[in-house]
Amino acid sequence: MECKVAVISGDGIGPEIVREAKKVMDAVAEKYGHSIIYTDVLMGGASIDVHGIPLTDQAVADCQAADAVLMGSIGGNTSTSPWYQLPADRRPEAGLLKLRKSLCLFANLRPASLYQELKKACPLKDEVIKDGFDLMIMRELTGGLYFGERKTVEENGVWKAYDTLTYDENEIRRIAKRGFEIAKKRRKKVTSVDKANVLDSSRLWRKVVEEVAKEYPDVVLEHMLVDNCAMQLVKDPGQFDVILTENMFGDILSDEASMITGSIGMLPSASLNDTKFGLYEPSGGSAPDIAGQNIANPIATILSAAMMFRFSFDLDQEADAIERAVQQVLTEGYRTGDILSEGCKQVSTSQMGDLIAERI
């Protein structure tokens, strides 16, 4: 099979982690007889430095022309980087939001599970971890607060800022359907997370999710308020199967979920639309403080590449091979610094990539 992949290395640790994911993808292509054609695309700070804006129309077109996009991370230090002196719509993050919206990537899948090998890196106590956990955060990605109308105005000498949280029933319905579809193939439970005790958008969310649930009688639906969910994630993470939630709540809960897997460097993600096309990126950020030191954990990016093989190319065997290789390297005791525990062997970003690629 010939696969066209647009590659956004981005900023901070982005280029380092993407390099390792490509290494692993090339090993897969070689073993299973595929060819991968990469096209580099600039986004975020890397694009601002060249074009003055975080995402050009050409960059969007280059992504559209590919079968899938592999992305590292974008953004820099928000207090010191000159990128953050620019107006908000020209900062690095605006590029990512524009890309998500332009490609209609409304469904963001963020799987968080605990490898037994990483139990010691998990900050939770053994009696909380019990047999571990394996959950999927299904985050709505093109609506809500991220895309609502916003403005900052001065009224009678007082500055005032507005951000609006809007959802229509169609936006809720399509993400809910995706959530139930995924749950059907897993442990058949959806926890829909909202703030229906306060927000109108959440009350509509709940109503539409309940309607959709009727089409999936074999899937159990429960509702949970977002503050309670934040607590339950560290109290009893094993209770969750699919967490279905809106954009902002999903952003926050997925960082929390990543930490209980041991590190944010372990959490992959796929952003999908209604076709096979997808954007694959680690859930973590650009970590400018450790950029360029060859110490970042590339596993989330490598696991995101596995999701690309599975969802965009329908190559399950290849995706399994990547996930198995990651598992094997962890079983053999290799760790980057963020997931290091006693008795394990510390390796760099590039060594981790080599080790995983060799085991394909």
The catalytic residues are: 146, 195, 227, 251, 255
Nearest residue (CB) to ligand IPM, 9 versus 283:
283
96 scored as a contact of ligand IPM (CB under 6 A): yes
- The nearest distance, CB 87 to ligand IPM, in angstroms, is 16
Q: Report in angstroms the alpha-carbon separations of 359 from 31, 297, 330, 332, 354.
A: 11, 17, 12, 11, 9
Q: Report helix, strand or coil for 262.
A: coil
Nearest residue (CB) to ligand IPM, 124 versus 264:
264
- The nearest distance, CB 13 to Mg ion, in angstroms, is 15
171 scored as a contact of ligand IPM (CB under 6 A): no
| Closest listed residue to residue 205, CA positions, set 233, 228, 171 | 171
298 scored as a contact of ligand IPM (CB under 6 A): no
Among ligand IPM, Mg ion, none, residue 95 binds (CB under 5-8 Å by kind): none
Among Mg ion, ligand IPM, none, residue 75 binds (CB under 5-8 Å by kind): ligand IPM
Torsion of CA 344, 345, 351, 353, to 10 degrees: -10
Do 148 and 165 contact (CB within 8 A), yes or no?
yes
- Residue ranges in contact with Mg ion by CB under 5 A: 251
| Closest listed residue to residue 251, CA positions, set 149, 110, 130 | 110
- The nearest distance, CB 300 to Mg ion, in angstroms, is 12
b/e map 213-248, b = 16+ CB within 10 Å: beebeebebebbbbeebbebbeeebeebbbbbbbbb
Helix, strand, coil percentages, rounded to 5, for the chain: 45, 20, 30
Bridge partners (DSSP) of residue 222 are 191
93 scored as a contact of ligand IPM (CB under 6 A): yes
Q: What is the DSSP letter of 138?
A: E
Nearest residue (CB) to Mg ion, 262 versus 353:
262
Among ligand IPM, Mg ion, none, residue 96 binds (CB under 5-8 Å by kind): ligand IPM
- The nearest distance, CB 259 to Mg ion, in angstroms, is 12
Scan for tokens 């809500």, then name that residue. 144
Nearest residue (CB) to ligand IPM, 32 versus 147:
147
- Enter the tokens of residue 339: 């997931």
| Contact flags string 250-289 toward ligand IPM, x per CB under 6 A | -x-------------------------------x-x----
| Contact flags string 189-228 toward ligand IPM, x per CB under 6 A | ----------------------------------------
| Closest listed residue to residue 250, CA positions, set 163, 145, 161, 328 | 145
Task: Round to whole Å and give the CA distance between 73 and 89.
Answer: 18
Nearest residue (CB) to ligand IPM, 163 versus 320:
163
Q: Which residue is nearest to ligand IPM (CB)?
A: 93
Q: Which of residues 71-90 bind ligand IPM (CB under 6 A)?
A: 75
- The nearest distance, CB 271 to ligand IPM, in angstroms, is 9
Nearest residue (CB) to Mg ion, 146 versus 216:
146
φ, ψ for residue 190, nearest 5 deg: -115, 125
- The nearest distance, CB 140 to ligand IPM, in angstroms, is 11
Which residues of this protein are in contact with ligand IPM, per CB under 6 A? 75, 93, 96, 251, 283, 285
